Amino acid sequence: MNSTSLSRAERGFTLLEILIASFILAIVISTVYGAYRGSLTLMEGMDEERRVNELAEQTFMRMIRDLSAIAPIEGRFKFSTGPSKAGPDFSDLTFVSQAHLAFQEKEIPAGLAEISYEAEESEEEGSFRLLRKDVLAQEGEETKESLSGFILCEDIHSLTYKFIDVNGNEHITWDTEKGSEMERNRLPLLIIIELRLINRRDREHPYVFITKVYLPAAKRIIFPGP
């Protein structure tokens, strides 16, 4: 039989045909892989955003509970801000509240407590965490035994406060003991908390969360006793 009369199936594929088929296969694989990577990146991004949103929500819920339970001690409100060792993008906040959390077995489970929010740098460069410290206080006396507290939030880029007084004026600091006449023995009417969390996919654009806490007790002025 003459070789020229062989069918295509018997002759097989030419080198050119194999190269063309390989090229087409490479395009298909590349397209499928690109679509897979895109879907995976999208899912990872959604998971990260969900995690960040839950972290911000949990942080705000705890802060709102603490601040909403602010109460006077010995006839005075104690509420003050101060510079943070974490830097200018942070401010430490200290106040007396009824939102005491008991962590020790023999500790009094409820009562007035001096609560403070303090930011500190974490192990990751450029990342900070927020500590919630809770010191049980009693009328006429503050215990010196400080609880260890706990980490309230991590992956923080910045945390700032704004305080609105009863006249609608804005303050960036507040001190019921050493502040202005408006501040002394009086709480701000509204606290605006801005929390920025690190965006690991784009560190130049952190996630921004803002909440507001209304303090009805701000309308009360407590004058010091004799």
Mean pLDDT of 84-112: 82
pLDDT at 143: 44
Confidence band, pLDDT 50/70/90 cuts, at residue 81: very high
* Residue 98: how many other CB atoms lie within 10 Å: 15
Q: For residue 86, give the DSSP letter.
A: T
Mean pLDDT of 70-93: 91
Asked whether residue 2 carries a pLDDT value surpassing 80, the answer given is no
Per residue in 21-71, pLDDT (tens digit) is 777 877 877 777 777 676 666 566 678 888 899 999 999 999 999 999 999
pLDDT at 10: 56
- From 126, 88, 130, select the one nearest 204 (Cα to Cα): 126
Mean pLDDT of 166-182: 92
Per residue in 180-225, pLDDT (tens digit) is 888 888 999 999 999 999 998 888 999 999 999 999 877 665 545 4
- Report CA torsion sign: 143, 183, 213, 210: negative
Length of the chain: 226
Q: Where are the domains of the chain?
A: 47-91+117-129+151-219
User: Most confidently modeled of 2-6, 27-31, 93-97?
Assistant: 93-97
CA distances from 27 to 24, 31, 34 (A): 5, 6, 10
User: Across all residues in the chain, what is the average pLDDT?
Assistant: 82
pLDDT at 160: 95
DSSP string, 133-171: EEEEEETTEE-S-----EEEEEEEEEEEEEEE-TTS-EE
Q: Both tokens of residue 217?
A: 């007790």
Residue 89's identity, in one-letter code, is D
* Lowest mean pLDDT, pick from 18-22, 65-69, 84-88, 125-129: 18-22
Burial letters 128-146, b for 16+ CB under 10 A, else e? bbbbbbbbbbeeeebeeee
Asked whether residue 161 carries a pLDDT value surpassing 80, the answer given is yes
pLDDT at 130: 95
pLDDT at 215: 92
* Lowest mean pLDDT, pick from 46-50, 120-124, 134-138, 154-158: 134-138
pLDDT at 23: 76
Confidence band, pLDDT 50/70/90 cuts, at residue 82: very high
CA distance 212 to 137: 27
Per residue in 142-160, pLDDT (tens digit) is 444 445 578 999 999 999 9
Cβ–Cβ < 8 Å for 136, 100: yes
